A and B are shown apart, each in its own frame.
Chain A
Amino acid sequence: MRATLTHLGAMVTAGVWRLGYAARFFGYLLVHSATAFRRFGLTVREIYFAGVLSLIIILVSGLFVGMVLGLQGYDTLQRYGSSEALGVLVALSLVRELGPVVAGLLFASRAGSAITAEIGLMKATEQLSAMEMMAVDPVARVVAPRFWGGVISMPLLAALFSAMGIFGGYLVGVVLIGVDEGAFWSQMQDAVDVREDILNGVIKSVVFGFAVSLIAVFEGFDATPTAEGVSRATTRTVVTSSLAILALDFVLTALMFTGGN
C-alpha cells in the first residue's frame, strides 16, 4: 500500500517537474524562433509536411463527418417538423466544435506523431548533438520551424474541415434527401454569426495548433534516444495532444459560448 502511494507521489512530482521543463522549453523556443521566420523556407517546408500532407485525411474526414451530421440531423429534426434547420445544425456543429476539435485530433495523430518521431530519431542518431557541435542551435534550426509550421497549418486545416463538412451536409441533406436548398443556406446564414461562431472556431483552432505543435516538438526533443524511447514519445504525443485538445475545448467553449445578455 505504502509503495503504491509513494509511487503515485513520485509520478505526480515527476509530472509537475516535466510540466515546468516543458514551459521553459516553450519560452526558449519562442525566443529562438527568429531563424524560423528569417529563413522562412525552412518553415514553408514544414508547412508542407504538416499541412499539405494532412490534406487528404482532413478533407475526406470532413466530408464524411458532414454527411453523417446531415443524416443524423435530418432524422432527428424531421420528427419535430424542423428539417429545414438542417443547415443550421450542420454549420454550427462544425464551425463551433467539430471543425477545430476533430481536425485537431486528426492533426495530432498524423502530423504531430510524425514530428515527434522525426525529432526523436534525429536525437537518437546524434544528429542534434552533431548540429550543436557545429555551433548551430538545433532548437532554432530544427524545432522552431516544425512548431510554427504546425501552428500555421492547424487553423487552415480546421477551416477546410468545416467547409468540407458543410458541403457534405449539403450533399446529403439537399441533394440526396431533398431538404429545401434555399432554406438550408438562408437559415444557416441567419444563425451563424461571423464573430460569435466562426471567429471563435478559428480562435479555438489556433489554440489547438499551439498546443499540439508544442507537445509534438517537446516530446520529440525530450525523447529517450533509443528506438523504444522514440516510439514511447510518439504515443505520448498523440495521447497528450488529444487530451489537451478536449480539455482546452471545454475551457474555451465555457468562456466563449456562455449564454446571457
Chain B
Amino acid sequence: MADPAIAQIEDLTFAYGRQPVLHGIDLDIPRGKVVAVMGQSGCGKTTLLRVIAAALLPTRGRARVLGQVTSDLDRDGLYALRRRMGMLYQFGALFTDMTVFDNVAFQMREHTNLPEDAIRDLVLLKLEAVGLRGAAPLMPAELSGGMARRVALARAIALDPELILYDEPFTGLDPIALGVIARLVRQLNDALGATAVIVTHDVAETLPLVDYVYFMADGRVVAQGTPAEVRRSGVPFVEQFVSGAIDGPVPFHYPAQGYGADLGLAGRA
C-alpha cells in the first residue's frame, strides 16, 4: 500500500549561515492532493520547497520524500530522486539557448534512450497539454511571461513526475494567464495522478484551487487546514493575510522611535 503522505517533514530546522530560516517545521504532503504553502515574502516558504525538492539538506530534522530520507542519499541517489519530481521556477528558468521544443525534450534526451520520433511525439503531447504546441520552434526570448511559464510547466511534467513543485507560479501574470496556469495546475495534477505543492502568496487564485493549505510566518507553520477551515480558523495572522488588511499581527509601521521626536518637536512623543 502506498504511503499516504508523499512527503513528510519532521522537526525541520534549516539555516543558510548562522541564522535559521526554518524552525522545527512538521508537515505532511498528502498523496494526490494539491497543497499550498502560503506566507509573506521571506517567511521561508521557498526554502521549504527547496528542502522538499532535495536541493537543500536539513540542518536538523528530517525530510522524507517519495519514501526516501533526503539526508541519507548520496549524489546518485539524489539525482534518482529528482527524476521523479518536477519543479516550476518563478520565471520559468527556460534554457535560453534552445528552442521551446528542445527545452521540453531536454530531460527525455538526457535520461532516456527514446528514439527521436518517440521524443517528438511526447514533446508535442506535453506542449498540447499546456496549449502551446504551435510555439515549439520559438526561442524563449520570443515568448511572453505567461507563455514562458506554461512551457516551463510542460518541461516540468516531461517525465510524468509523481511530485510537482511550483515556486510562485502566479506572480506577475495578467488575469487571463493566471487563470490558465491555475486551471492547468489542477488539470495536470488530476490527469497525472500526481501531487502538487504550490508556494505562493496569491490568496484569491490559490484558495479556490487547492485541497490543503499551510500558512507560514517567520519560519514556522502558524495555521493549516482545508481552505474552508482556514478561512474560519480565527488565527489573527491568517485573517489579516486572507483579507489583505494593512494592519494586524503584521504591523504597518516598521519599528521606529516616536514620530514627534523624529520631527524634532521637543516634549511630544
CB of A125 within 8 Å of the partner chain: yes
A135 partner, pick from B83, B93, B94, beta carbons under 8 A: B83
**Residues B89 and A135 in contact, CB atoms below 8 Å apart:** no
Partner of B87, one of A127, A130, A141: A130
* Cβ-closest chain A residue relative to B87: A133
A134 at the interface (CB under 8 A from B): yes
Complex Cα distance, B106 from A203, in Å, reads 38
Contacts of A127 in B (CB 8 A): 93-96
What are the interface flags for A95-124 relative to B under an 8 Å C-beta threshold, 1 for contact and 0 otherwise?
Answer: 000000000000000000000000001100
With A129-B89, A130-B87 known as contacts, the answer to whether A135 contacts B82 (CB < 8 A) is yes
**Contact between chains at A134 and B93 (CB < 8 Å):** no
A121 to B, closest residue via Cβ: B96
The residues of B that contact A134 with a CB separation of less than 8 Å are 82-83, 106-107, 110
B residues near A125, Cβ cutoff 8 Å:
91, 93, 96
**Pick from B55, B96, B106, B110: contact of A129, CB under 8 Å:** B55
A121 to B95, CA, bound (A): 11
In the complex, chain A residues whose CB is within 8 Å of the CB of B87: 130, 133
Interface string of B79-94 (1 = CB under 8 A from A): 1101101010111011
CB neighbours of A130 from chain B (8 A): 87, 89, 93, 95
Contact, CB under 8 Å: B80 / A132:
no
* B198 contacts the other chain (CB 8 A): no
Q: Which of B78, B93, B110 contacts A136 (CB 8 A)?
A: B110
Q: What is the CA–CA distance of A127 and B53 in the complex, to the nearest angstrom?
A: 16
A131 to B95, CA, bound (A): 9
With A134-B110, A136-B110 known to touch, is A129 a contact of B93 (CB < 8 Å)?
Answer: yes
Once bound together, how far apart are the Cα atoms of A177 and B79, in whole Å? Answer: 67
Interface residue A75 (Cβ < 8 Å from any Cβ of B): no
Q: Do residues B96 and A133 form an inter-chain contact, with CB atoms below 8 A?
A: no
Residue A196 at the chain B interface, CB threshold 8 Å: no
If A125-B91, A127-B95 touch, whether A133 touches B53 (CB-CB below 8 Å) is yes
The residue in chain A whose Cβ has the minimal distance to the Cβ of B78 is: A135
Give Cα distance in the complex from A1 to B93, angstroms. 47
| Interface-central residue, A129, A132, A133, A136, by most chain B CB under 10 Å | A133
- The answer to the question of B253 belonging to the interface, with a C-beta cut-off of 8 Å to chain A, is no
Q: Are A135 and B111 in contact (CB under 8 A)?
A: yes
Instruction: Verify A133–B95 contact, CB threshold 8 A.
Output: no
On chain A, the residues within 8 Å of B93 by CB distance are 125-127, 129-130
Asked if residues B55 and A132 are in contact (CB atoms below 8 Å), the reply is: yes
Assembled-state Cα–Cα distance A82/B79 (Å): 68
The CA-CA distance from A136 to B111 in the complex, in Å, is: 9
Query: Given A125-B96, A127-B96, A129-B55, are A135 and B91 neighbors across the interface (CB < 8 Å)?
Result: no
Q: CA A223 – CA B93 in complex, angstroms?
A: 17
Contacts of A126 in B (CB 8 A): 89-91, 93
CA distance A121 to B111 in the complex (A): 25
Q: Give the nearest-CB partner of A131 in chain B.
A: B95
Those of B206-257 within 8 Å (CB) of chain A: none
A189 vs B80: C-alpha distance in the bound complex, in angstroms?
A: 60
Q: How far is the CA of A136 from the CA of B55 in the complex (A)?
A: 13
Residues of A within 8 A of B (CB): 121-122, 125-127, 129-136, 141
User: Given A122-B95, A127-B94, A135-B78, list of 13 further CB < 8 A pairs?
Assistant: A121-B96, A122-B96, A125-B93, A126-B89, A126-B93, A127-B96, A130-B93, A132-B82, A133-B53, A133-B55, A134-B106, A136-B106, A136-B107
- 5 pairs of A and B residues whose beta carbons are closest in the complex: A135-B79, A126-B93, A130-B93, A135-B82, A133-B87
